[in-house]
Structure 1
């Protein structure tokens, strides 16, 4: 019969909430297997007969027999007619196995990742706040989304498509959505797109990862805005690319360093509509210069049209892709900012020669984007609801930007100077009080305020010290509360200095 400690261990497995979903015989089988692997039951040790063990555990004899049968099938025990059940001799390997398990507990062993895997892990990934609070940047206001309308359209799609929507989808994306996206970017962004050039993905981040791995080899260079969107730099770093920083001024990325060394890199990454994080718009002469550079060098322009829907003064400048007659521009867009992050739909408008390679490559990542969401979004756009929602949110975000700039000037004028953007969902503020950026961020965190530091967005992390303050997702009242919290926190730091 089992010792008391062994019997208690089996009973603990039966009672543990984590194992509650498994059948009784499976829980008993796993408990005994655990005792064998841990060495509590050594090779040759007899196991209790099924009847007394069943009585001790308060289960039926058939349950014990089922557990023993599975242990026997897996090779953990031997069953001898007339003698009973015994721990199999082949488990002599168990001491070494147990030592490895014991040794692994106190220390974390190296993962032995590839160089690219190690780079991806070191980057820390791109983590978004599950429950954003002021002033987390790049977050839309989902409270204003017309959810009942979306649910109605989703029901219509399911009624019309039936179980077809539950099957695998086209890896390039549902044709109705690709057609609608092409119509939208042509009309609103001045693009040159057709449905057969659109690839529907789960996010702009996935698009950048595809570009990094499909267009350049590890060690090759890509020109990057400096400062730059952190998600892009992490994607290119993880792919093993050499990110060459190029300064940004009030007219966007400077083209002189690129034209001075035209062969240094095979691609350039841009956020031309609203540069992240400065908010600058790339000047037309610079757009045209980059288009000619890409054509002459057979290089690529990766255009991330970051939150281009939210422009608050006049009509936004047409996208670079629409100006490029040479088909060297890859246009990246997403519905994460304009609708809601949980939608997980982004897209790229590709040069014709890249459509098939990129589509094949995405099948190795996730196969396709969820069909129901694609078809619902297509109907949402076709009915004019997308345009109406964006126009509504544009007005709301413009008001919140103005509210935030006023609050910053009123309560934070001793610490920062705001740079009010003409578009986007966040406002950069430069530190003017001599306080370190790290101290300001730490004080904000302790006060329950989320901020992103500006200097970390520069290639060497030594750029102008400041704070990036998101405003789109937060009401004027929430912004005021957060600004007051931040002001009090910064005053506290300054008084202790």
Structure 2
């Protein structure tokens, strides 16, 4: 067909399918001609045809725009179906892609397709309202003045060296892990760290233990690697190692959250930790230790990390700054046995080279100047106060929604009366602007407990009051 007709058809299709929305401005004819590799007369002829049929309008001195109302006889043109966008006959996913698409998403509002509004008990959020914004801004400004050109270049794929040194130093004090900066790999958040571990340590079809109930992000990483997930039950002592051995003794990897099990909040006992390490040694398997919020413990001293008591170098440790600083930072890290470092660096090179250098440099300054230690000290006090407030206000729902205190973490588990559907409760509460998360979504096996996960660290007392008023109406 003539060149102008081809361009006309492309623009018409874009308008009818909604790719060019009503009122959208089209590029100037000269610009479009250059981008399309055609003459301006061709573009003008296509525009003239679209204008004559009522698809576009021109405004003197303003430009050319998609018409607000399209010709009635053409309104039957269909938009792409939801099925075709998600993998219908025109966009078929791989078998692994289909499995990954079916994994439930982490409870982040934007991932779930909505934004938080009003009162919210979002889990995984620290007290962002108490973050030292002024200190952070000063460190950023100082970094830009002092070393911006150097931080705009490529850098070590393992991460900014001063940050890795700061992590290696602080992790020894806080978690008892003895390591060097060369064992630290900085990632863009803990999810990338989990992905790296699954990709480097597993082949498709390998068995991997996963806590049941467990972290959805770890489940997604294992599915992405093509692993065969073995759900292992969790009790008050943490992962039931004996049950895991009975189910699949030769699993290649065990993904665990021993310091503060997610989502139940239990701490793995020393006996279970030693049994897990012995199993990994005996079967030449790996342990992925996700230590996501070990910094927030309110009673007693935390147990040493699994990696700190593993003499066989079978543990890979994953940490994150999302909870100790803020989630939008998107910085996490891995501490690996020396023999695995090259493999993790190769995984990093195959994705995004390294995390943002300016952010890494500011976090390094924040740690080295003592701001992180002071910030964590304040946050522990504030988070514990907010946990007490959540428990106090929850008394009004005793017998319907029962919460128990926790020695650490950022959320509590509110158990519902027998017969309640936690997913239905969460869905209805969300309609009223209250974000609670159903525990049942974290189970893989048949044993499921219905409860609500309720974040308290990032929720003020007034928001809690309003939230419980809504939950009381929903549950009633």
TM-score by length of 2: 0.82
Deviation at 1:265, TM superposition (A): 0.5
**Are 2:263 and 1:277 aligned?**
yes
User: Which of 6, 27, 30 is equivalent to 1:25?
Assistant: 30
Q: Which has the larger radius of gyration?
A: 1
Question: Quick one: higher RCO (CA 8 Å, sep 6+), 1 or 2?
Answer: 2
Q: Which residue of 1 aligns with 2:100?
A: 120
2:144 corresponds to which of 143, 149, 158: 158
Equivalent residue for 2:320? 334
Residue 362 of structure 1 pairs with residue 348 of structure 2: yes
Deviation at 1:263, TM superposition (A): 3.4
1:264 matches 2:250: yes
**Distance in 2 between residues matched to 1:380 and 1:395, nearest whole Å:** 20
**Alignment counterpart, residue 144 of structure 1, candidates 130, 136, 155:** 130
What is the match of residue 197 of structure 2? 211
Aligned residues of 2:252 and 2:286 also touching (Cα < 8 A) = yes
Deviation of 1:32 after TM superposition, in Å, equals 11
Deviates most, 431-440 or 345-354: 431-440
User: Using the alignment, how far apart are the partners of 1:362 and 1:465 within structure 2?
Assistant: 38
Which stretch of the first structure deviates more once superposed, 287-296 or 438-447? 438-447
Number of residue pairs aligned between Structure 1 and Structure 2: 429
* C-alpha separation in 1, matches of 2:58 and 2:212: 67
Question: What pairs with 1:284-433 in structure 2 (closer than 5 Å)?
Answer: 284-409=270-395, 411-433=396-418
Closer, same or farther in 2 for the Cα pair 1:26/1:309, shift >3 Å? same
CA distance in 1, matches of 2:147, 2:226: 43
Alignment partner of 1:129 out of 78, 97, 109: 109
C-alpha spacing 1:36/1:442, structure 2 compared with 1 (3 Å): farther
With over 3 angstroms needed to count, the CA separation of the structure-2 counterparts of 1:436 and 1:33, relative to structure 1, is farther
Q: Work out which of the residue numbers 429, 435, 441 in structure 2 matches 1:450.
A: 435
3-state SS of paired residue (2:108):
coil
Instruction: Tell me how far apart the structure 2 counterparts of residues 243 and 266 of structure 1 sit (CA, whole Å).
Output: 10
Determine the structure 1 residue equivalent to 2:54.
none
- How far has the Cα of 1:261 moved from its partner? 5.7
The Cα of 1:254 is off from its aligned counterpart by 1.0
CA distance in 1, matches of 2:256, 2:127: 25
Trace 1:178-197 onto structure 2 (pairs within 5 A): 178-197=164-183
CA displacement at 1:443 relative to structure 2:
2.6
* Alignment match of 2:226 (pick from 240, 247, 252): 240
Contact preservation (8 Å) 2:33, 2:39: no
Q: CA deviation at 1:27?
A: 3.5
| Distance (whole Å) between structure 1 residues aligned to residue 160 and residue 428 of structure 2 | 47
Q: TM-score, normalised by structure 1?
A: 0.79
Where does the alignment leave 5 or more consecutive residues of structure 1 unmatched? 42-46, 49-55, 61-101, 492-497
Structure 1 residues 285 and 31: alpha-carbon distance in aligned structure 2, compared to 1, 3 A threshold: closer
2:437–2:452 Cα contact (<8 Å) kept: yes
Shift of 1:406: 1.4
Please give the alpha-carbon distance, in whole angstroms, between the structure 2 residues aligned to 1:174 and 1:104. 47
What is the CA–CA distance in structure 1 between the aligned matches of 2:38 and 2:406, rounded to whole Å? 63
